[in-house]
Structure 1
Amino acid sequence: MLDDFLTRAALGGVGTALAAAPLGCFVVWRRMAYFGDATAHAAILGVALSLALALPIFAGALVVALVMAGAVTALSGQGYAMDTLLGVMAHAALAVGLVAVSFLESIQLDLMAYLFGDILAVSRADLAVIWGGAALVVALVAWRWQALLTTTLNPDLARAAGLDPRREELVLTLALAVVVAVAIKVVGVLLITALLIIPAATARPFARTPEGMAALAAGIGATAALGGLAASYHLDTPTGPTIVSVAAAMFVGATSVSRVVGRV
C-alpha cells in the first residue's frame, strides 16, 4: 500500500493535520499566530544547517525551531511589544535561513519544496517521522491538557492552583517546534502557521467544549489535506498551497454558515 506515492502523501497530510489540530486551538486561544510564524520561518535555517552537516532535516529544523521559540520567550517583556518582536524575528529568521541556503553550492536544493512543501515526495521514512511527531504532540498535549487550558484561560487562577504558566508555555513551545519540523515536508515553512490556525478557527463557531474544538479541528485539517491533495492531483497545482486554499475555503464556508444560523 505504501508503494503508492498518493497513499503516502495522504497519510502524511492526515498525520500532519492530527499533529497541528490540538496545538492550533491553543495558538488561536492564546493569539500566538506570530509566535508560530517566527518558529516556522526559523526552520529554513535548520534545513540549511542539516544539509551542511549531513544531518536529518527533522533534527535540524526541530533544534532551530526550539532555539527560536526559546529566544522569543526569553526576550518577551524586555521593552518591546510582542507583535513587534515576533515580526522582526520571524522575517529575520527567514532571511538568514535563505542566505545560509545560498552558501550550499555543493548541494542541490529544491528551495521551493521547503518553502511550500512537497507532500508528493513523502517517503516511508518521512511517514515514520510525521506520525511519530504527531503521536508525540498529541500525547504531550493530552498529558498537559487541563494545565494548558487553565493557564490559557486565567494565568492567575492557574498560579493559585499551583500551576506554573511559564512551564506550560514551554510545553507549548516544544509541541510547536515538533509540529514545525513535521510539517515542513507537507506544506513548507511559509504555510505551516496556516495549517495550525485555519482548521482551529473553522472549528471554533461549532464547538461547545475545548475538547470538541480540538477534535473538530483535527477532522477539518484532515479533510483539507485530503481535499487539497485530490484537487492538486486533478488541477495540476502546487499541493501545499492547494491544501491551505481548501482549508481557507472551508473557513469561509463555516463562517458564512455560522452567521446565517446566528440570524435565524
Structure 2
Amino acid sequence: MIMLDDFFTRALIAGVGLALIVGPLGCFVVWRRMAYFGDTMAHSALLGVALSFLFDISMTLGVFGIAALVSLLLVFLQKKKTLPTDALLGILSHSTLAIGLVLVAFMAWLRLDLMGYLFGDILAVSKGDIALIYGGGCVILAILGLTWRPLLAASVSEELAEVEGLNPQRSKLIFMLLMAGVVAIAIKIVGILLVTSLLIIPAATARRFAPSPEMMALLSSLIGGVAVVGGLFLSLYYDTPSGPSVVVAAMLLFVLSLSMPSQRGS
C-alpha cells in the first residue's frame, strides 16, 4: 500500500474539487466558443494579484474583483459595437497582463514568484485553500444550476432565448462572473496560464461521447478529475511540474479519445 504525504493528499483533494467545478463551466466555454474569454480572465488575474499585494487584501478577492471588472467592461464595450468581440478580448487580455507585470516591476520591495502564479503550485495548497475550493465551488455550481436552462438556451440561440423571455444577456453576465470566481479559486492550483486548459480540454474530450448537455457536464468533471489524479502521480514519479503535468494528462486523455468512436454525430 502506497503511503502518500499530507501535502500530496491535499493536492489530490483540491485538484479533484477544482475539476468538479470547472467541468460544467468548461462545457459552456466550448459550446459558446469562449475559449479566448477564458484566456482573458486568466491573464487579468496577474493584475489582481499585483493589486492584492499593493493594497494588502485577500488575493482571491483581488483576482475576482479584477476578473469581474473585466467581464463588466467587456459587456459594456460589446454594446458599443465599435470592435468585434475577439478584438476586444485581445485588447483586454494583453493590456491587463501587461499592466500587472508593470505594476509588479514598480513594487521594488515585493519579491513575487511569477512562475508560481503563472503555472501554479498545487502541492502547496493548505486546508484553508481546500475549504475555499469546495465552499466557493458549491456556490458557483448552485448558481450555475439555477441559470442552467437560460444559459443552455442562449448557447443554442440568443434570439430564441430572448423570445422565450429567458434574458440571455443577464445569463451571460452571470456566467462571466462565475468564470471570474473560478479563476480566483484556481489561480493558486494550476496558475494563470493553465486555467483555460483545464476548462477547455476535459469539456472538449467529453463532447465526443456525451449524448446530452447534462451528461457532457458530468463527463467533463470526471475527465478533469482523472487528469488531476493522473497528472499529480505523473509529477510524483517523474519529478515534473505539477500544474503543467495535470494539463498534459488532460491532453493525453483528449488524444486517446480521438482513437475511440464518438457517440455524437458531430
Instruction: Tell me the TM-score range normalised by the shorter chain.
Output: over 0.9
Aligned CA RMSD, in angstroms, stands at 1.7
In the other structure, the counterpart of 2:106 is 103
User: In the alignment, what sits opposite 1:22?
Assistant: 24
For 1:256, the equivalent position in structure 2 comes to 259
| 1:2-59 deviations in Å (ceiling 9; x for gaps) | 9810111111111111111111000000000111111111011000111111111100
> Whole-Å Cα distance in 1 between the matches of residues 66 and 255 of structure 2?
34
Question: CA–CA distance in 1 between the matches of 2:185 and 2:138?
Answer: 11
Q: Partners in 2 of 1:157 and 1:127 — Cα distance?
A: 40
Aligned amino acid, residue 9 of structure 1: A
- Give me the TM-score of the superposition, normalised by structure 2: 0.94
Letter in 1 for 2:71: A
Give the drift of 1:107: 2.6
Task: For structure 1, list consecutive stretches of 5 or more residues without a partner in the other structure.
Answer: none
1:201 to 204, 213, 218: 204
Paired residue type of 1:61: V
CA distance in 1, matches of 2:4, 2:113: 24
Aligned amino acid, residue 188 of structure 1: G
- How many Å separate the matches in 2 of 1:2 and 1:71? 45
Q: Is the 8 A contact 2:21 2:140 kept in 1?
A: yes
Q: Which 4+ residue blocks in structure 1 deviate beyond 6 angstroms? A: none
Aligned equivalent of 1:72: 74
TM-score of the pair, normalised by structure 1: 0.95
Residue 122 of structure 1 corresponds to 125
1:51 alignment partner, one of 44, 50, 53? 53
1:40–1:193 Cα contact (<8 Å) kept = yes
Residue in structure 1 matched with residue 97 of structure 2 by the alignment: 94
Partner of 2:173 in structure 1? 170
Q: Report if the CA contact (8 A) 1:19-1:133 is conserved.
A: no
Question: 1:131 is aligned with what amino acid?
Answer: Y
CA contact (8 A) 2:104 2:110 kept: no
Q: Which amino acid aligns with 1:69?
A: S
CA contact (8 A) 1:8 1:124 kept: yes
Q: CA deviation at 1:94?
A: 1.0
Local SS of the residue matching 1:258: coil
Partners of 2:161 and 2:121 lie apart in 1 by: 41
Are the equivalent residues in 2 in contact too, given 1:2–1:124 (CA < 8 A)?
A: no
Rounded to whole Å, the distance in 2 between the matches of 1:54 and 1:3 is 32
- Is 1:214 paired with 2:217? yes
Give aligned pairs, total. Answer: 261
State the Cα deviation string for residues 59-98 of structure 1 (Å, max 9, x = none): 0000000001111111125221211221221112111111
Give the alignment of 1:220-235 within 5 angstroms.
Answer: 220-235=223-238
